[in-house]
Structure 1
Amino acid sequence: MELQLQEIREQQKASWNKSSPGWKKWDDMTMDFLQPFGDAIINALDLQDGYHVLDVAAGTGEPGLTIASKIRNGKVIITDLSDEMLVIAHENAQRAGLRNVEFSVCDVCELPFDDNSFDAISCRMGFMFFPDMLLAAKEMLRVLKPGGKIAASVWSGPEKNGWFTAAMSTVKNNVELPVPVPGSPGMFRCAKDGLIAGLFEEAGLTNITQIELPGKLNCQTADTYWSFASEVVGPVVSALAQADAETKEKIKSEIIQLINQTYPEGNVSINSSAYIISGTK
């Protein structure tokens, strides 16, 4: 891997390790938020009991843990670049009483598995953060058995993901942020319709399908949304780290005001949208 890509990988690893306490704190709400996309991935994989499944960039363990609960006679290997996130995933597996899971801290662009090792591969909200997305897809294809399926999800456009833009637009109005390099890892890097489908085709997958799926972040209150966004949503957390106390308080006040104006009757439930893409080796 090129030096520049290695540097991006290390930055990603440090960022996810740093944010892991927030993910642990908000794991229940985050997993409820992301569950529809994980369920769609699982449906696309046509799982069978006894399958050997790889879950890439699983963070705190999903959808790999749910997959493990469905294929009790199979096995799931859950991977992530962040060792701190996988500590949480391991705790979640123990809490669920799952014994057919293993964990591997590794880079998707250099998977430590033999060719043709897995019957299916899942990847929920990971591709947009990979330094080299095509190399990642090819590595997944390499370790997938012939006839096996890969299914992934990525966020669609920011205009359909108010759960992110409500906070980030306010942050940008108050903090001067560096302009990201085109194509660099980011939340909406894969938002272009058909981008990942095209990537899958270039990697060598066939029978490629794509659907767009809506979702909701159920926060109930504006205060809960602020706490979640400021502790879990990576770009917001990073931007706030650059702000002084007065600016942070101003951002907090403006975000809460925006959410209360948008949901005057409370019951904050913010829109999201993602693409689910699958293909066969």
Structure 2
Amino acid sequence: MKPQHELIREQQKLSWDKFSPGWKKWDQFNMAFLRPMGEAIIAGLHIKSDDEVLDIAAGTGEPGLTIAALAPDGQVTGTDLSDNMLSVARSNAEAKGIKNYQTVAADVCELPFRDNYFDAISCRMGFMFFPDMDLAAKEMRRVLKPGGRIATSVWSGPELNNWVTTIMSVIQKHIEMPPPVAGAPGMFRCGKPGLMKEVFTRAGFNNIKEQEIKGSVDYKSFDQYWEIMLDVGAPIVAALSKADDETKEIIRKEVGESFRSRNADGEAKLNYASIVIYAEKTV
């Protein structure tokens, strides 16, 4: 891995470790939000009862924990950069009584597993943050058995995801932020239709398909939306740390106005859109 990619990896590990308490706090909410993408991933993997499955960027455990329940005679291994996030995943597995689930702290670009080992691989909302997406895809293919399937999801473009742009667009009005470097890890890096298909094609996968999933997420209130985003949104917190208290209050007020303008009759919903990508290793 290139030195600049190693630096990004270490920065991401520190960030996810730092924000793991927020993800634990809002785990039930976030897992409900992300469930449609997890269900689509699982449906595309055709899980059998004795499958060995790798869940990459496992976070607090899903969809790996649900997969483990579908493969009682198999094993699910959840990997993530963050030991703290995996600690939450293990606690969730214990709370659910899931015995065939284990975690391994690992970098997707250097997976510590032998060739042709897993029957299936899941990866929900991880690819856009991998420093080297091509290397990550090649590593996934390496550890997947011939005939194995992979399914992953990424966010579509910002224009379809006002659950995050509602706050980020206001922050960018008041706080000077450097423009994103082309190809650098980021929320919408993989949102261009066909981009992930190109990545998987270069890695040697076959029978690649894409599916778009759209929906809305109910935050119940603006106050809860604001609290959640500051508890789990590392880029948001990093940006706000540059502002004085007066500017922060102005931002909060304007975000609230934008949030309420998107909702009629007192609702508190925002929209999301994602792309789910399916592929096979045929040889």
Measured after TM superposition, the shift of residue 72 of structure 1 is: 1.2
Q: TM-score, normalised by structure 1?
A: 0.98
CA–CA distance in structure 2, aligned partners of residues 13 and 252 of structure 1: 28
| Cα offsets for 1:85-143 (capped at 9, x unmatched) | 11111111111111100100000000000001100000000000000000000000000
Work out whether 1:169 is the aligned partner of 2:169: yes
2:36 is aligned with 1:36: yes
Partner of residue 26, structure 1: 26
2:101 counterpart residue number: 101
- Percent of matched pairs sharing the same residue: 53
Equivalent residues in 2 for 1:224-243 (5 A)? 224-243=224-243
Residue 260 (structure 1) shift: 1.6
Instruction: Write the mapping of 1:70-219 to structure 2, written as runs, cut at 5 A.
Output: 70-219=70-219
In the alignment, the residues of structure 1 paired with residue 21 and residue 249 of structure 2 have an alpha-carbon distance, to the nearest angstrom, of 22
1:71 shift after superposition: 1.1
Q: Aligned letter for 2:182?
A: P
AA of the residue aligned to 1:136: A
Tell me the distance in 2 between the aligned counterparts of 1:203 and 1:263.
43
SS in structure 2 of the partner of residue 193 of structure 1: coil
> Cα distance, 1:269 vs. partner?
1.6
**Structure 2: 5+ residue runs without aligned partners?**
none
Deviation at 1:238, TM superposition (A): 1.7
1:67 equivalent in alignment to 2:67 = yes
TM-score by length of 2: 0.97
Equivalent positions of 1:249-260 (< 5 A) are 249-260=249-260
Cα distance, 1:244 vs. partner? 2.0
| DSSP-derived class of the 1:24 partner | helix
> Aligned partner of 1:95: which letter?
A
Alpha-carbon RMSD across the aligned residues, in angstroms, is 1.0
Mapped partners of 2:25, 2:192: distance in 1: 32
Distance in 2 separating the partners of 1:264 and 1:245: 30
Runs of 4+ in 1 over 3 A off after TM superposition: none
Q: Distance in 2 between matches of 1:84 and 1:239?
A: 23
Q: Which runs of 5+ in 1 are unaligned?
A: none
3-state SS, counterpart of residue 220 of structure 1: coil
**3-state SS of 2:49 partner:** coil
Equivalent pair of 1:164/1:233 in contact (CA under 8 Å): no
Bigger mean CA deviation after superposition, 21-30 or 186-195: 21-30
Shift of 1:49: 0.5
Task: Tell me if the contact between 1:33 and 1:215 (Cα under 8 Å) persists in the aligned partners.
Answer: no
Greater CA drift, 43-52 or 177-186: 177-186
Q: What are the superposed Cα offsets for residues 51-74 of structure 1, whole Å, 9 maximum, x if unpaired?
A: 000000011111101111111111
Q: How many residues are aligned here? A: 281
Report the equivalent of 2:48.
48
- Counterpart Cα distance in 1 of 2:148 and 2:40: 17
Worse-matched range after superposition: 255-264 or 54-63:
255-264
The secondary structure found in structure 2 opposite 1:88 is helix
